[in-house]
């Protein structure tokens, strides 16, 4: 159960660095286990390992920071004391049918922080109030409610995302 009485100010946000890749990989997979168990294919979740996620984060931070690796991108991590409990990544749009110049690529927080304001802090930290788009797993109603609360709306675009074992995804835009 989240600690809803604790203010979001207990969290510290900072830009991710290359040496954060192992912590980001571990957090990413822990959040997937909490968020997508019963939502995404169990085989897909099992084949995605901390090592694989760490390698992906290393690639996004290869030049030392997200901005130096891909100009216009930003990766923030959130700390609760010394523990990494959240991450967010924004980047320039690369989809052929992009409806905004920027996208929210990732936003994950540990389940125990849900309702604490951490997600909003991370979202504001990587995007502010700029127009952007994102994709959610359609079955993730919690994510849809969160993003709607922050000005995003489903725009009717949807696809089956083959790399995620054909998970059905929907686009949200603000």
Residue 7 has pLDDT above 70, yes or no: no
What is residue 28's three-state secondary structure?
Answer: helix
pLDDT at 163: 82
The average pLDDT across 96-108 equals: 95
pLDDT for position 109: 97
Strand, coil or helix: 141:
helix
- What is the pLDDT averaged over residues 63-89? 96
Radius of gyration of the chain (CA): 15
3-state helix, strand, coil in the chain (%, to 5): 40, 30, 30
The answer on pLDDT for 91 being more than 70 is yes
Q: Which of 39, 42, 48, 50 is nearest to 137 (CA)?
A: 39
For 140-162, what is each residue's pLDDT tens digit? 999 999 999 999 999 999 999 88
* CA atoms of 122 and 140, how far apart (whole Å): 19
Q: Mind listing the pLDDT tens digit for each residue in 35-49?
A: 888 888 888 888 889
* Burial environment of residue 90 by CB neighbours within 10 A (0 to 12, 13 to 18, 19 or more): buried
Of the candidates 135, 112, 24, the one whose C-alpha atom is nearest the C-alpha of residue 75 is 24
Residue where the block lists tokens 């996620």: 53
Residue 82 has pLDDT above 50, yes or no: yes
Residue 111 pLDDT more than 70? yes
DSSP state of 48: -
As a whole number, mean pLDDT of residues 31-60 equals 90
């Amino acid at each position: 159960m989240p600690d809803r009485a604790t203010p979001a100010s207990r969290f510290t946000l900072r830009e991710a660095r290359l040496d954060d890749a192992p912590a980001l990989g571990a957090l990413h997979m822990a959040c997937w286990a909490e968020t997508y168990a019963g939502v995404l294919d169990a085989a897909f979740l099992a084949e995605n390992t901390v090592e694989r996620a760490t390698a992906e984060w290393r690639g996004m931070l290869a030049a030392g920071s997200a901005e130096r690796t891909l100009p216009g991108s930003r990766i923030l991590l959130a700390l609760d004391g010394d523990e990494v409990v959240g991450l967010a990544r924004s980047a320039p749009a690369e989809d052929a049918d992009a409806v905004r110049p920027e996208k929210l690529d990732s936003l994950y927080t540990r389940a125990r922080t849900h309702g604490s304001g951490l997600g909003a802090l991370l979202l504001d930290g990587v995007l502010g109030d700029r127009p952007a788009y994102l994709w959610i797993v359609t079955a993730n109603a919690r994510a849809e409610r969160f993003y709607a609360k922050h000005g995003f709306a489903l725009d009717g675009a949807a696809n089956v995302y083959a790399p995620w074992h054909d998970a059905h995804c929907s686009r949200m835009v603000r």
